[in-house]
Amino acid sequence: MKIHYIRCLEDNYSYLIIDESTKEAAVVDPVEPEKIVNVANEHGVHLKLVLTTHHHWDHSGGNEKIKQLVPGIKVYGGSIDKVKGCTDAVENGDKIALGADVVILSLHTPCHTKGHISYYVSGKEGEDPAVFTGDTLFVAGCGKFFEGTAEQMYQSLCVTLGSLPKQTRVYCGHEYTVKNLQFALTVEPDNEKIKGKLLWAQGQRQAGQATVPSTIEEEMETNPFMRVDLPQIQEKVGNHSPVEAIREIRRLKDNWKG
C-alpha cells in the first residue's frame, strides 16, 4: 500500500491510496479532480474509488466532476451526510476492498458534521495501517463542532480513533499543524513532546513540506483534544470530566488569537 498526499485549494489535502499489486487506487476528498487524475496518471494507477469524509464543499465538491473524468468510479460517503455525487453510502463498520491487499473500514466520527466518516485502511501484513480523518482529527487539533456536541467529539476522537493501533498513520484534511501546536502549548506549556513537534512542524513548513502523517501515538502525546482523560488537563481548564474539558478546550481554541 502506498499513500501520496496531494495539496488542494489553499490548505486542503487529498490523498491517493494505491494497492501496489494491482495498481488500483482510491482517492480521499478529491476537491480538485483534474489534479487528482493527473497525479493518478503520473503514478500509472487506475482510480476506482472516491472516499468522501464529509459533505463540506472543500471535501466533496469535486465528486461530480471526477465521475465525469473517470466513468464508473464509485463515490463513497456517510449515509446521513448527503455527500455530493455519492453512489455508495456507508455506515459505521462497513468494509470496502481495494485491489488485492487493501481493506478500508468506515468509522462514523460525527461532530464536525453529523455523518462524518473516517476511513481506516490496512494493507499487507507488516505494513502500518492508516486512517484518513477529514476534519474530525487534525494533527494536534480537531474540527469545529458545527453539527454535533462535545460528547460526540469525545467519542469520535478519544474512543473511536483513540482505540486504533498506536502506530496507525494519521492523514487529516488540512494543513493546520503549526497553529494547532502553538495553541496546544497554551494548554500544556511544559509538554516537551509538543515543543519538539512544533519545532519539527515549523521546519517542515519552512521547507515547503507537509506535516502529515502523524500517528495515533503522537496525537495521544501532543493533541490536547485527545488528552482530556488526563486529570491534569481537566484541572488546567477548570473541568472535572473529559467531555467538559473537550468542550472548554474547543471554546478556548475558537477564541484564540494565535
Mean pLDDT for 114-127 is 96
- Tell me which residue has cell 517542515: 204
Specify the pTM. 0.98
User: Annotated catalytic residue: which of 19, 58, 81, 108?
Assistant: 58
User: Annotated catalytic residue: which of 55, 108, 116, 174?
Assistant: 174
135 is catalytic: yes
List beta partners, residue 102: 98
Q: What is the pLDDT of residues 140-195, one digit of tens each?
A: 999 999 999 999 999 999 999 999 999 999 999 999 999 999 999 999 999 999 99
The whole-angstrom separation of Cα 103 and Cα 105 is: 7
User: Annotated catalytic residue: which of 29, 55, 59, 116?
Assistant: 59
Does residue 258 have a pLDDT over 90? no
What lies within 8 Å, CB to CB, of 207 at 6+ separation is none
- Mind listing the domains of the chain with CATH numbers? 2-254 (3.60.15.10)
What lies within 8 Å, CB to CB, of 52 at 6+ separation is 28, 29, 59, 60, 63, 75, 76, 77, 78, 81, 83, 86, 117
4 is catalytic: no
DSSP 129: P
User: Annotated catalytic residue: which of 19, 29, 54, 108?
Assistant: 54
112 is catalytic: yes
Mean pLDDT for 133-142 is 98
Q: What is the pLDDT of residues 199-243, one digit of tens each?
A: 999 999 999 999 999 999 999 999 999 999 999 999 999 988 999
29 is catalytic: no
